[in-house]
Amino acid sequence: MKKISVPGSTVQQFLKNRLAVAGGVLVVGMLVVAVLGPLVYPPDPTAIDVKNILNGPSLSHPLGTDELGRDVLARMIGGAWISLLVGFVAVGIATVIGVVMGSIAGYFGRIVDTVIMRAVDIMLAVPTIFLILAIVTILKPSIWIIMAVIGFTTWMEPTRLVRAEFMALKEREFVVAERALGASDMRIIFRHILPNGISPIYVSATLGIGAAILVESGLSFLGLGIQPPTPSWGSLLASGRENIEIAWWLSVFPGLAILVTVLGYNLLGEGIRDALDPRIRGMNG
């Protein structure tokens, strides 16, 4: 199988982009907090302490406590794990659907392409957030429902990206040669074209994780996302809204966590896109 080689300058180009590197540091930092945070700071994020209701940041509670006396730092760490889990799983679902649908549409074309792209157009015509709200309102909210709903309502962009790549690659010499040798369509799609057209998916998936985290936080803020007592940055923000005049820390710290995480994934995604773009490598080369 002939593969289109990625220039060795791709990594160098990425490392030259300070904003992209900063985004990568933020992403890795948040992953470390989500995975190792409970080991370093073990208090139970669901433990209620009526003697320490709405206490400000202190040595015993570095980020203060909420309206039930629960440790905000412990809940922030738990919320980091929930947010990243939702982001990765939801984007994984959307990416798998998008890769399959885009591959079929781009490779076979004609009526198959028309049907799939009209389905994409219909989905794009409906505001995604309203569709998600409608589905979540009908179904009982849970972390699995949230991940599935976000994944099944955001597959359109990966589909369009993969389709475009397949349409550009399916007439290349190495694909024509494989077809002439009698290779099956599935083998050509998944063994020869897809490995060479997967680069845009890296960008789409990275940006999608940040978007999924933002959607989950918004749903939890509205009470339609992760349900108490499971910690979520969105539900922490909702608590902060109700007590903003007397407990500023309930709004500031979850808001900063959402901002930093989404910003990190956006910067990382933009950096990957620029590093993979041959036009930008040529200008900087």
Please say if the pLDDT value at position 7 is more than 70.
no
What is the token pair recorded at 178? 């494989």
Of 122 and 188, which is predicted with more confidence?
A: 122
Domain ranges of the chain: 9-43+71-284
**pLDDT single digits (tens) 52-64:** 899 999 998 999 9
Of 95 and 136, which is predicted with more confidence?
A: 95
- Residue 73 is predicted with a pLDDT of 94
Give the rounded percent of residues in the chain with a pLDDT score beyond 70.
94
- Residue 136 is predicted with a pLDDT of 85
Mean pLDDT of 101-113: 90
Report the distance separating Cα 1 and Cα 177, nearest Å. Answer: 10
Tokens 């809940």 map to which residue? 75
- Residue 172 is predicted with a pLDDT of 83
pLDDT band at 191 (very low <50, low <70, confident <90, very high): confident
pLDDT band at 109 (very low <50, low <70, confident <90, very high): confident
Q: Please report how many Cα atoms fall inside a 13 Å half-sphere around the Cα of residue 106, on the Cβ side.
A: 26
Of 234 and 4, which is predicted with more confidence?
A: 234
Mean pLDDT of 9-19: 83
> Does pTM surpass 0.95?
no
Report the distance separating Cα 9 and Cα 276, nearest Å. Answer: 9
Mean pLDDT of 235-261: 89
Mean pLDDT of 201-223: 91
116-120, 183-187, 194-198, 245-249: which is most confident = 116-120
Phi, psi of 84 (to 5 degrees): -70, -35
Q: Please report how many Cα atoms fall inside a 13 Å half-sphere around the Cα of residue 82, on the Cβ side.
A: 30
- Residue 5 is predicted with a pLDDT of 45
Please say if the pLDDT value at position 79 is more than 60.
yes
Phi, psi of 219 (to 5 degrees): -65, -40
- Residue 193 is predicted with a pLDDT of 85
Pick the CATH number of 9-43+71-284 from 3.50.50.60, 3.20.20.70, 1.10.10.60, 1.10.3720.10: 1.10.3720.10
* Average pLDDT across the chain, whole number: 87
What is the token pair recorded at 56? 């400000």
- Residue 280 is predicted with a pLDDT of 53
